[in-house]
Structure 1
Amino acid sequence: MYIESLHLKQFRNYKQLSINFEDTVNVIVGENAQGKTNLMEAIYLLALAKSHRTSKDKELMNWEEKQAMISGHVEKRTGPLSLEVILSSRGKRVKVNELEQRKLSEYIGAMNVVMFAPEDLNLVKGGPIMRRRFIDMELGQTSPVYLHDLAMYNRILKQRNQLLKDWQGSPNDPGMMLEVMNDQLAEAAAKVVHRRLRFLSSLEKWASELHAGISRDAESLELGYVPTAEVSDDTDMPTMVKAYQDSLLNKREQERRRGTSLVGPHREDLVLKVNERNVQTYGSQGQQRTAALALKLAEIELIGEEIGDYPILLLDDVLSELDTHRRSHLLNTIQGKVQTFVTSTSVEGIEHQTLSKATVFEVANGAIERLERGV
C-alpha cells in the first residue's frame, strides 16, 4: 500500500497543504522546527487516529484554531481508499470513503504504518510502558478484535482501580463487588494476553531472522513475555482466566494497601534476550539498538504477512542515529517494497542506492516544495 496524496487544514504549523507522493521513497529535508516531523505525524495520525507525540488533540490544531483536518488517498492491493480525520473541541471524527465510522476500532487498520523515530531506539532499554505501547499499537493495526478487547479491559480496570482506591480509605470490605470485578478483569485480561502471546510468537519468527542478518549471524534474538499470572503460549483460555483470578486473589492485600490493580496486562512486559542474556539489562548500546531495529523491521514483515500488503514506513530523523552498517541493513531490507518517508536536516551524507532515486521535498515554515529528482 502507499499514500498517494495528503491534505492538511490547520494542522500544527500547516494552515493548508495538498501534496502528492511517490510510491517508493520520499525524502523530507529542512531545518529543525520547520514541519518535517509534523508531516510524519499527520501520516501516522491518518492511519491510527492518534498522535505518537501527544494525547491532547488541541495541541494538533493550528494556533487558536478550533478544528483541524487530515485526509488522504491511499492505494491498496484491494483498491483505492480515502481516509479523513477531523479534530475539534467537540471530539474526533473519522471517515473511510466519506462514511463516518462509529468506532475507532472500525477505522484503525484501513491504512497501516510503521513509525521509526530516535526514541524507538530506547524501546529495548526504556521502561515497560514503551514496550506495552509497541505491542498495542502494532497488534491493533492488524486485529480490530484486539482493540475491542483492550478497550474493554481498560474500562474494567478503571472501575476496579476506583473501587480499590475507595477501599484504601475505608474500613468497609468491598466483598462481592470486588469478586465480580475480579472475574470480569481476569476474563478480559486473558483475552488481551492470549492475543499478545500469539502476536509475539509471530513477531519473533521475523525478528530473530532479521537480527541474525544485522549481527552477521554472531547473535541470536529471542522474545519473551513477562505476565503477572502463571500463563504461557500454550495455556488455553479457561486455564488462563483461572490463572488471573488466582493471581488477583493472591495480590488482594497488596492491592488494598496500594489502592490500585497490580495484576493484568497493564503491568506486564516484553523481554528480549540476545544469546540467552537479557539485552535490556546486560546488552551493550549497540546490541540494544540492533534488537530495536530488528523489532521494527519485523513489524513490516509481520503486517505484510497478516494483511497481504506492506505498511507505509516512516523514518523520522532516525538514519542519523544509526551507524553505517545498521542504516544500510535497514535501507536494503525495505528497498523496492515499502513506501518510505525519510526526514533529515540534509541529504548530504546519505549515500545509498535506495535513496539515490528518491523524490525530495523541502520544508520551510510549514510550506513544502518538491525538488528535482535524485539526491
Structure 2
Amino acid sequence: MFLKKLHLKNFRNYEDTSLEFSPGINVLLGQNAQGKTNLLESIYVLATARSHRTANDHELIRFGNNDADIMGFVHRRADDLPLELELGKRGKKARVNHLEQAKLSQYIGQLNVILFAPEDLSLVKGSPNGRRRFIDMEFGQIAPRYLHDLTSYRGVLKQRNRYLKLLSARKTNDRVYLDVLSEQLASFGGSIIAQRQKFLDDLEKYAQELHLSITQRQEKLSFEYDSKLKNIAGYSEQELQQLMYQQLQEQYEKEIFQGTTLIGPHRDDIKFLINDKNVQTYGSQGQQRTTALSVKLAEIDVMKEQTGEYPLLLLDDVLSELDGQRQTHLLKTIQNKVQTFLTAPAMNDVARNLIKEPKIFTIKNGNVAETTAKGELLLKTITFYPHGYK
C-alpha cells in the first residue's frame, strides 16, 4: 500500500496543492512553521478522519475559508483507490472510489498509517491516557469491531457517569437502571480488554525481536496489560464481560459516593518490562526511548499481518530526537519495506548516507517544490479533477 498522489485545498496553510509521491522514502525539508507537519497531518487525517494534533476540525481549515478538502490516490495490491475527505461546518464527508460513505467507520481502514513524532518517545514514561490513546488509534485503524465497541463503550460510560452523579446527589434512588448500564458497559468493556490483550500479544512478538536487535540482544522487552479489574489472567472474552459486570456491582457504593465509574478499559494501562523490570519506573531515558522505538516499528509488521499490506509511515522530525545508533536502526528497518514520509529541517549525515534514492520536497510558507538531493528545482505538473483523478 502506498499513497501515489495527494491534493489539498484550503487545508491548514495549503491553499491548492497537488503532489505525487515515491513508494519509497519521501523527505520533506523546511524550517519550522513552514508546513511540513501540516502536510504529514493531512495524510494522517485522510487515513483516520481525525487529526492527531487537535480535536477541533475547524482548526484544519485554512483561515478565511468555510471548508477544506483532502484527496488521495492510494495504490493497494492490484488496484488504485481514490479517497476523499471534506471538512466543513456540517462535519465530514468521506468518499471511497467517489462514493460517499454513510458512516466514517466504513471509510476508516482504507488507508493505514503509523505516525511517529517526538512526543511518541514519551509513550513509555508518559501518562496512562497517552498509552490508551496509542492502542485506540493504532488498533482502531485495522479492527472495525474494536472501533465499534470502543465508540459504544464511551457512549454507555457517559450515560453511566451521568447517572452515578444523579445517585450521588440523591436525585434518584433507582439502581435497576444502574444495573442495566453496568451490564451494557461490561459487555463492551470485556470485549475491548480481550481485543487489547490480543493486539499487545501480537505487538510484543515483533517488538521483542526489534528490541533485542537494537540492544545487541542484551535486553528482552515484554508487555503487560494493566487492568483495574482483578485477576483477569487467562480469561476469555465472555468471562471478562462477566467479571467486569460482577466487579462493577461490587463498586456501587464507592462509585455512587464519587459519582464516576472506577473500573473498566478507560482506566487501564500498559506496563513495559525490560528483563522483567518495569522500564517506566526503573529504566533509563535511553531504555525508554529504545522501547518506544521498538513499539512503533513493531506496528508496521502487525498491520502487515492483520491487513496483508504495509501501512504508510509518517516520521515527524523524529530523527533529531534519536542518537546515531537509533537513527541507523530506524532507517535500516524501513528501507525498501514501507512508504515513508520524513520531515526534517535538513538532511543529516546519517539520513544522507542511509536513505537510497529519496524523493525530496522543499517546503516554504505552504509552497512545496520537488528538488534533487543537491537542492535543484524539479518542475512537474499533476492534474486532479473534482471527485476524480487522471
Q: 1:14 to 1:231 in 2, by over 3 A?
A: farther
> How big is each residue's C-alpha offset from its partner over 1:161-181, in whole Å with a ceiling of 9 and x where there is no partner?
110122221263231010111
CA distance in 2, matches of 1:231, 1:144: 28
- Superposition deviation, residue 157 in structure 1: 0.6
CA distance in 2, matches of 1:101, 1:172: 41
> How big is each residue's C-alpha offset from its partner over 1:269-309, in whole Å with a ceiling of 9 and x where there is no partner?
11100111110111110000000000000000110111111
- Superposition deviation, residue 373 in structure 1: 4.5
Q: 1:2 to 1:354 in 2, by over 3 A?
A: farther
- Superposition deviation, residue 366 in structure 1: 0.4
Task: Decide whether the 8 Å contact of 2:328 with 2:354 is kept in 1.
Answer: no
CA distance in 1, matches of 2:168, 2:303: 44
**What residue in structure 2 maps to residue 173 of structure 1?**
173
- Superposition deviation, residue 64 in structure 1: 2.1
Task: Decide whether the 8 Å contact of 1:198 with 1:233 is kept in 2.
Answer: no
> How big is each residue's C-alpha offset from its partner over 1:103-133, in whole Å with a ceiling of 9 and x where there is no partner?
1211111001010000000000000111111
Q: CA RMSD in A?
A: 1.3
5 Å-filtered alignment, 1:339-350, equals 339-350=339-350
5 Å-filtered alignment, 1:107-126, equals 107-126=107-126
**What residue in structure 1 maps to residue 332 of structure 2?**
332
Task: Decide whether the 8 Å contact of 2:166 with 2:172 is kept in 1.
Answer: no
5 Å-filtered alignment, 1:129-148, equals 129-148=129-148
5 Å-filtered alignment, 1:259-298, equals 259-298=259-298
- Superposition deviation, residue 346 in structure 1: 1.0
Q: 1:201 to 1:348 in 2, by over 3 A?
A: closer
The number of equivalent residue pairs is: 375
CA distance in 2, matches of 1:102, 1:280: 42
Q: 1:27 to 1:182 in 2, by over 3 A?
A: same
2:228 alignment partner, SS class: coil
CA distance in 2, matches of 1:147, 1:374: 45
Structure 2 counterpart of 1:263, which letter? I
CA distance in 1, matches of 2:54, 2:165: 28
CA distance in 2, matches of 1:64, 1:249: 52
Question: How high is the TM-score relative to the length of structure 1?
Answer: 0.97
**What residue in structure 1 maps to residue 189 of structure 2?**
189
Q: 1:219 to 1:32 in 2, by over 3 A?
A: same
Task: Decide whether the 8 Å contact of 1:87 with 1:93 is kept in 2.
Answer: yes
- Superposition deviation, residue 232 in structure 1: 3.7
5 Å-filtered alignment, 1:157-306, equals 157-170=157-170, 172-230=172-230, 232=232, 234-306=234-306
Question: How high is the TM-score relative to the length of structure 2?
Answer: 0.94
- Superposition deviation, residue 374 in structure 1: 6.5
Task: Decide whether the 8 Å contact of 1:359 with 1:374 is kept in 2.
Answer: no
Which 4+ residue blocks in structure 1 deviate beyond 6 angstroms? none
> Which residues of structure 1 form unaligned runs of 5+?
none
CA distance in 1, matches of 2:5, 2:235: 45
